[in-house]
Structures are given as structure tokens and as C-alpha cells.
Chain A
């Protein structure tokens, strides 16, 4: 079983829509959690850290559910510029394990 798994999508949504997707992780000893955004042929860029209490950054909301071992990302009021691949990452012992990414395409 992969350490981090994501629904690859793609999620095709119209501008202004809300889109949400999850990521599951297998190791309960995982210590910290992140969402990254990766554009085609580019490096990943940190979108936000994910905390148990949930956190919000503008139109983006992330949640962590330790009991069920998943994290989620919700994007409200989608913009064309949100089109990208979203990678979840899990930190254990200072090493990051990444999921394969969820592709989101926002259409006009």
C-alpha cells in the first residue's frame, strides 16, 4: 500500500464552483501535513500546512482527520488560475512523502 494516496481526478469544474478532494495516508505516526500545488513541468509550491483544527487561507480550506487518516482540501469560488495538480504531503521523521496528485481544471 502506498504511504500517501490521492484521487488523481481530473476534477473539471466551472469558474466559481467549489471543489473538494481528499488524500489518505497509511502511517499513523505521520507528524505534519501539507498541500502543495504543482503546475505542469514545474516544482511543487507550498499551498498550506494542514492542522487538526482545520485552517483556511482565502478561498482554500484544509482539514486533517487523524482518526481516519486523511486530509482534505476545499477550494471555493474557483478561478481559472486554480487549474493545477494538487499534491498532498505527509512528514514523518523529517521526510516528506507525496501523493501522486489530484488534477483540477477550472473552465470558463
Chain B
């Protein structure tokens, strides 16, 4: 159990376009989802925390107008990178918790974004 999927697994886009990444909890209801970004040889950096039905909470330094997060249901959260630029190229990973145990986050397989 506790499977989280992400789609797409990789995407290549032109500079200036927007890219939407989906994160789904397949076998549990995710009251909270987290979005991380990981640059090569660096740690996962938390971008935002998303609770179902409410606005996401962004970490310091993360532009909320650039990284749009929607958590419309208990099984789906989306991250849209708007007007992507090459410096946004990174590995984006979501995780989810059921709320019964905030200690355990279940990670999706990640989305590798390359902006040309």
C-alpha cells in the first residue's frame, strides 16, 4: 500500500512554456502533500506544503506565482511551473501523508524537467 504516482516522469519543454506535474496517491487519501525540488548532487528542498482544499504554504524563497499548486482532492495535487526557464530544470518530487502519521511521507517517483 501507500503508493504515490507522478506524471509525467520526464518532460522537456521550451523556455517560456508552462508545465503541469501531477501527483496522485493511489491507495490512500492524502490530506497533505509536499512538493520538493532536487538539483544535481544537492538535497531535496521543500518547496511547498499543500493541504486538500486550502491554499499551499510556500517555503521562503519559492515564488508562489511561478509554482502554482492545486490540491483539489484527497488523491491529487498538481504543480504548474509557469513560464519555465532553464534554471527551473530540476527533479521535482512529491510526497504525501495520510494525516494519521505525519512522520511518514510516501514519495512519488519524481518528474525530471528539462527546460531548453
A interface with B by C-beta (< 8 Å): 4, 8, 32, 34, 41-46, 49, 87, 91, 94-101
Interface size class of B (residues with CB under 8 A): 20 to 34
Residues 69-105 of chain B: 1 if any A CB is under 8 Å from the residue's CB, otherwise 0? 0000000000000000000000101010100001111
**CB contact between A46 and one of B32, B34, B49, B104 (< 8 Å): that residue:** B104
Contact present for B105 and A96 (CB under 8 Å)? yes
**A43-B93, A96-B44 provided; 5 other pairs, C-beta below 8 A?**
A4-B43, A44-B93, A46-B104, A96-B95, A98-B45
Contact present for B46 and A100 (CB under 8 Å)? no
Assembled-state Cα–Cα distance A43/B106 (Å): 10
Closest to A103 in B: B41
Could you say which residues of chain A place their CB within 8 Å of the CB of B41?
A: 8, 100
Contact present for A43 and B46 (CB under 8 Å)? no
How many whole Å from B51's CB to the nearest CB in chain A?
10
Total cross-chain contacts (CB, 8 A):
45
Could you say which residues of chain A place their CB within 8 Å of the CB of B109?
A: 42-43
* Complex A-B: 27 CB contacts under 8 Å: A4-B43, A8-B41, A32-B103, A41-B91, A43-B93, A43-B107, A43-B108, A43-B110, A44-B44, A44-B93, A44-B107, A45-B107, A49-B103, A94-B32, A94-B97, A94-B102, A95-B46, A95-B49, A96-B34, A96-B44, A96-B46, A96-B95, A98-B44, A98-B45, A100-B41, A100-B42, A101-B43
Could you say which residues of chain B place their CB within 8 Å of the CB of A49?
A: 103
Closest to B102 in A: A94
Could you say which residues of chain B place their CB within 8 Å of the CB of A45?
A: 107
How many whole Å from A37's CB to the nearest CB in chain B?
11
How many whole Å from B32's CB to the nearest CB in chain A?
7
Could you say which residues of chain A place their CB within 8 Å of the CB of B34?
A: 95-96
Could you say which residues of chain A place their CB within 8 Å of the CB of B97?
A: 94
